[in-house]
């Protein structure tokens, strides 16, 4: 898996969009970008993944730059329940493990 770099922590006001950046400058052409989050005392939860194109689902949007060296996870209207650690992972799906880094601790404040 390519190395990913994320800010250690971020704050966001409730109701505003949360934009979580991730750098993956050494990502290879066949590696997908995955996002998971982990709420305290729970297992990680899959959010979204993408290869080249931007992706959107009911939880979030994923914006991947054209050169694929960075991406942004967008939570359009953050709620207090979105407070969690968010992990960005680059994975080629050929291996059978995800390599989690330290993630970004997002605090949504009222």
Partner 1 sequence: DTGVSQNPRHKITKRGQNVTFRCDPISEHNRLYWYRQTLGQGPEFLTYFQNEAQLEKSRLLSDRFSAERPKGSFSTLEIQRTEQGDSAMYLCASSSGQYYGYTFGSGTRLTVV
> What residues line the site for partner 1 (CB under 8 A)?
32, 34, 36, 41-47, 49, 85, 87, 93-94, 96-103
Backbone angles phi, psi at 53, to 5 degrees: -80, 155
Distance CA 89, CA 92 (A): 10
In eight-state DSSP terms, residue 4 is -
Closer CB to partner 1, residue 54 or residue 93? 93
Shortest Å distance, C-beta 43 to partner 1: 3
Q: How far is the CB of 97 from partner 1 (least distance, A)?
A: 4
Report the Cα–Cα distance between both ends of the chain, in Å, rounded: 36
Shortest Å distance, C-beta 24 to partner 1? 15
């Amino acid at each position: 898996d390519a190395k990913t770099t994320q800010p250690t922590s971020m704050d966001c006001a409730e109701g505003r969009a949360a934009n979580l950046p991730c750098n993956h400058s050494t990502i290879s052409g066949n590696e997908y970008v995955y996002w998971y989050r982990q709420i305290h005392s729970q297992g990680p939860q899959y959010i979204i993944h993408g290869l080249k194109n931007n992706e959107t689902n009911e939880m979030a949007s994923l914006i991947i730059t054209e050169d694929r060296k960075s991406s942004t996870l967008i939570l359009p209207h953050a709620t207090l329940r979105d407070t969690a650690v968010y992990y960005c992972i680059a994975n080629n799906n050929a291996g059978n493990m995800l390599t989690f880094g330290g993630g970004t601790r997002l605090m949504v404040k009222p």
